[in-house]
């Protein structure tokens, strides 16, 4: 008589394997198995869960797609407001931003690079998507919400669960019992072009740009539709949390990555305003070759103690700014002028 392996043990083993492969593929960008092997594991897990329905849990990788189409979205109140970002358009705006910070922090005005007078900034591209909040309780994703007006958003939990690189449970250990992860859902350029090409062929609705496509896809009442849209998520910070976290912006993002959250591959820690301007120029040169649309870069004071000291002005943090690129048509004018 062959001994049937305990289905509960095999289900746990398969889930751990699939979560590990997802982490390598979506967060480390280093696939560990061929798709065929991944699909075999997934098919075995789905079959085991169908044969043993009492083993199904919401954080199983089989439970992503196709929540019930609800009548409308519930409301979610953001305990920690989801703020917007101040904008810098010219280099002088960036110099003012840095000078204001150093003055508020009472750093020596003297020579910019005198020890202790420059501020370390965490830099990343400003993704042109939709800001969302993901709530993880005891490491399990329990709620997804749009930013809305910053205080009240829409409950889009069933839809965010279909975004393949949003983990349904945190990996590793040491994550806070309550952790609200914030970031941007966006549609990569290639997925956007494919979606519009399909829509033109089938007479469906086309979208003007990837940002509208992402917003429209996330706010579908039928999550089965969302599941078929090429959406991705990138985390850039946290909201509410109960537990311990590092005291730097980069430190927090590295922990989020360890716990299975995708963060920007362009993340960089720079020193002082010159480091910011070099980063802005570098991303500006590579903008058209990035696989997603951006409308600027975001700079944040890296030290969280200083972030708290700097606080917010109305709805914008004094410790963060978006340095925008000229809109593409202006950019051509700009380049025309420069190369005439």
Ligand X SMILES: NC(=O)c1c(N)nc(OC2CCCC2)nc1O[C@@H]1CCC[C@@H]1O
* Residues noted as catalytic: 126
Phi, psi of 64 (to 5 degrees): -80, -45
Residues 217-256 binding ligand X (CB under 6 A) are 236-237
276 binds ligand X, rule: CB under 6 A: no
Among positions 284, 317, 326, 331, the unique one binding ligand X when judged by CB under 6 A: 317
Q: Which of 75, 76, 70 is nearest to 224 (CA)?
A: 70
Q: Radius of gyration over alpha carbons of the chain, in Å?
A: 22
User: Which of 298, 303, 310, 325 forms a contact with ligand X (CB under 6 A)?
Assistant: 298
Tell me whether strands 312-313 and 294-301 are parallel, antiparallel or unpaired. unpaired
Distance, CA of 95 to CA of 91 (rounded, Å): 6
Which residue, 236 or 306, has its beta carbon nearer to ligand X? 236
Q: For the chain, percent helix, then strand, then coil, each to nearest 5?
A: 40, 25, 35
Cα gap 100→270, rounded to integer Å: 18
* CA distances for 47 relative to 6, 52, 58, 138, angstroms: 14, 9, 16, 27
Residue 90 in contact with residue 323, Cβ under 8 Å?
no
Site stretch for ligand X (CB under 6 A), options 78-86, 101-109, 247-255, 331-339: 78-86
Using the rule CB under 6 A, is 261 a contact of ligand X? Answer: no
- Is residue 320 involved in binding ligand X (CB under 6 A)? yes
- Is 134 one of the binding residues for ligand X (CB under 6 A)? no
Residue 167 or 237: the one with the smaller Cβ distance to ligand X is: 237
Which residue from 11, 17, 76, 85 is in contact with ligand X, where contact means CB under 6 A?
Answer: 85
Instruction: Tell me, by CB under 6 A, how many residues bind ligand X.
Output: 14
Dist CA 300 CA 298 (whole Å) = 7
Residues 111 to 130 in contact with ligand X, rule: CB under 6 A: 124, 126-127
Alpha-carbon dihedral 313, 315, 316, 319, rounded to 10 degrees: 60
Rounded to a whole number of angstroms, the minimum distance from the CB of residue 83 to ligand X is 4
Q: Which of residues 11-50 bind ligand X (CB under 6 A)?
A: none
Find the binder of ligand X among 19, 154, 180, 184 (CB under 6 A).
Answer: 184
* Interacting residues with ligand X (CB under 6 A): 83-85, 124, 126-127, 131, 147, 184, 236-237, 298, 317, 320
């Amino acid at each position: 008589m062959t001994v049937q392996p305990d289905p509960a043990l095999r289900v746990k083993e398969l889930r751990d394997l699939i979560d590990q492969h997802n982490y390598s593929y979506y967060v480390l960008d280093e696939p560990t198995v061929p798709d065929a092997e991944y699909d075999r594991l997934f098919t075995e897990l789905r079959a085991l869960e169908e044969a043993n329905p009492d083993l199904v849990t919401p954080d199983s990788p089989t439970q992503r797609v196709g929540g019930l189409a609800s009548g409308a979205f519930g409301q979610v109140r953001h305990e920690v407001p989801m703020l917007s970002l101040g904008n810098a358009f010219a280099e002088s705006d960036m110099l003012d931003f840095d000078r204001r910070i150093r003055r508020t922090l009472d750093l020596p005005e003297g020579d910019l690079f005198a020890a202790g007078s420059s501020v370390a900034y965490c830099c990343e591209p400003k993704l042109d998507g939709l800001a969302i909040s993901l709530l993880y309780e005891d490491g399990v994703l329990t709620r997804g919400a749009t930013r809305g007006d910053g205080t009240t958003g829409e409950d889009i939990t069933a839809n965010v669960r279909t975004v393949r690189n949003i983990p349904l449970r945190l990996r590793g250990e040491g994550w806070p019992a309550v952790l609200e992860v914030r970031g941007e859902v966006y549609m990569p350029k290639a997925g956007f072009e494919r979606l519009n090409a399909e829509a033109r062929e089938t007479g469906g609705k086309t979208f003007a740009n990837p940002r509208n496509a992402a917003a429209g896809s996330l706010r579908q009442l039928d999550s089965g539709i969302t599941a078929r849209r090429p959406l991705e998520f990138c985390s850039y910070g946290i909201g509410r949390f109960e537990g311990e976290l590092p005291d730097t912006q980069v430190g927090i993002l590295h922990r989020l990555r360890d716990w299975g959250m995708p963060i920007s591959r362009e993340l960089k820690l720079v020193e002082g305003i010159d480091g910011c301007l070099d980063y802005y120029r570098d991303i500006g040169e590579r903008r058209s070759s990035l696989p997603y649309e951006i409308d600027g870069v975001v700079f944040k004071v890296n030290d969280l103690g200083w972030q708290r000291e700097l606080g917010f002005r109305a709805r914008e943090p004094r410790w963060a700014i978006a340095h925008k690129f000229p809109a593409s048509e202006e950019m051509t004018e700009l380049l025309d002028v420069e190369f005439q």
